[in-house]
C-alpha cells in the first residue's frame, strides 16, 4: 500500500513538473495571444455585440432542465470554480501525456465560451494558455448566469444553428419553454459533436448521447434514478417531426 501511495505521489509530482515546464514554454506566446484578443475587442464590447444576435436568449428564457443538463455534462463544478477547474485540468494533462497528444482539454464552460468568442478551434498549447487566461478574466468580469447565457448563444448545434433558440426552433419547431425534459437533454448533448449528434443526421446516435447526458445528471445529482427512468421512457418512441 505504501508503494502505491509513493507511486501516486511521484506521478502527481511528475505531472506538476511537466505542467510547469509546458507553462513556461507556452506561457509568453499564450499570454500575448490573450492580450491581443482583449485589445482588439474588450469583454464589454464583445458581450454587447453577441447580445445583438438574432434569436439571442437570456438566461431566464432557458428551462431549468436544459441548464442542469448542460452543467452536469460539460462542467459539473461550474458554480464552484473561477473559470478553471484544476481537477479536470490535472486529469486532462495526465491523459494528454499518456496519449502524447491533446486528447482531452478539461475545458470548463468559461473556457469553451472563451474559445467560441475569441479564439479558433485549433488544438495548440499556445491557444490553450490564452483560452485559460480569458476564461479566468470572463469569470472575474461576468456572473455565472451571464457566462452560461453567452455560451449557449455562441455554441454550434449543427444544421447551421448557432444559438440554442435557433436549434430548438429548427429541430423541435418549438420555443425554448415548450421543450419536454427529454428534448432539453437532447439539445444539451449536441454541441459536443454537432456533425454526429444533430438529430437530423442520426437520431439513434442523438439518443445515445442523450442517454450519456442522463447518466451524468444522475451521477451529479440533478436527477434521481426514478426521474431518469421516466425520461428514458419518452425516448423510446421519440421522433423528430
pTM for this one?
A: 0.84
From first to last of its 241 residues, the chain has per-residue pLDDT tens of: 667 666 666 666 666 666 655 555 557 888 899 999 999 999 999 999 999 999 999 999 999 999 999 999 999 999 999 999 877 666 655 555 555 554 445 589 999 999 999 998 777 778 888 999 999 999 999 999 999 999 999 999 999 999 999 999 999 999 999 999 999 999 999 999 999 999 999 999 999 999 999 999 999 999 999 999 999 998 888 888 7
The whole-angstrom separation of Cα 152 and Cα 112 is: 10
Q: Where in the chain is the domain with CATH 1.10.3810.10?
A: 64-73+156-241
What would be the CATH architecture of the domain defined by 64-73+156-241? Orthogonal Bundle (1.10)
Strand locations in 45-188, DSSP E?
none
**Are 15 and 97 in contact, with CB atoms under 8 Å apart?**
yes
pLDDT at 24: 58
**Are 108 and 83 in contact, with CB atoms under 8 Å apart?**
yes
If you search the block for the grid coordinates 452543467, which residue do you land on? 71
Burial class of residue 192 in the structure, from the number of CB atoms within 10 Å of its CB (0-12 exposed, 13-18 middle, 19+ buried): middle
The whole-angstrom separation of Cα 228 and Cα 172 is: 21
Amino acid at each position: 500500500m505504501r508503494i502505491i501511495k509513493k507511486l501516486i505521489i511521484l506521478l502527481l509530482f511528475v505531472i506538476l513538473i511537466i505542467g510547469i515546464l509546458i507553462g513556461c514554454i507556452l506561457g509568453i506566446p499564450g499570454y500575448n495571444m490573450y492580450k491581443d484578443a482583449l485589445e482588439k475587442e474588450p469583454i464589454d464590447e464583445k458581450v454587447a455585440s453577441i447580445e445583438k444576435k438574432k434569436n439571442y436568449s437570456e438566461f431566464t428564457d432557458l428551462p431549468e432542465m436544459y441548464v442542469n443538463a448542460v452543467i452536469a455534462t460539460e462542467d459539473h463544478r461550474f458554480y464552484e470554480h473561477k473559470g478553471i477547474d484544476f481537477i479536470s485540468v490535472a486529469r486532462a494533462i495526465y491523459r494528454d501525456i499518456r496519449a502524447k497528444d491533446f486528447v482531452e482539454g478539461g475545458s470548463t464552460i468559461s473556457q469553451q465560451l472563451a474559445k467560441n468568442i475569441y479564439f479558433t478551434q485549433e488544438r495548440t498549447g499556445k491557444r490553450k494558455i490564452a483560452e485559460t487566461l480569458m476564461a479566468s478574466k470572463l469569470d472575474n468580469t461576468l456572473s455565472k448566469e451571464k457566462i452560461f447565457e453567452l455560451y449557449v448563444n455562441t455554441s454550434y448545434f449543427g444544421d447551421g444553428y448557432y444559438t440554442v433558440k435557433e436549434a430548438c426552433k429548427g429541430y423541435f419547431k418549438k420555443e425554448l419553454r415548450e421543450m419536454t425534459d427529454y428534448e432539453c437533454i437532447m439539445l444539451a448533448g449536441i454541441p459536443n459533436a454537432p456533425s454526429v449528434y444533430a438529430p437530423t443526421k442520426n437520431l439513434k446516435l442523438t439518443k445515445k448521447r442523450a442517454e450519456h447526458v442522463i447518466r451524468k445528471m444522475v451521477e451529479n445529482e440533478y436527477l434521481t434514478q426514478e426521474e431518469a427512468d421516466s425520461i428514458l421512457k419518452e425516448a423510446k418512441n421519440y421522433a423528430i417531426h
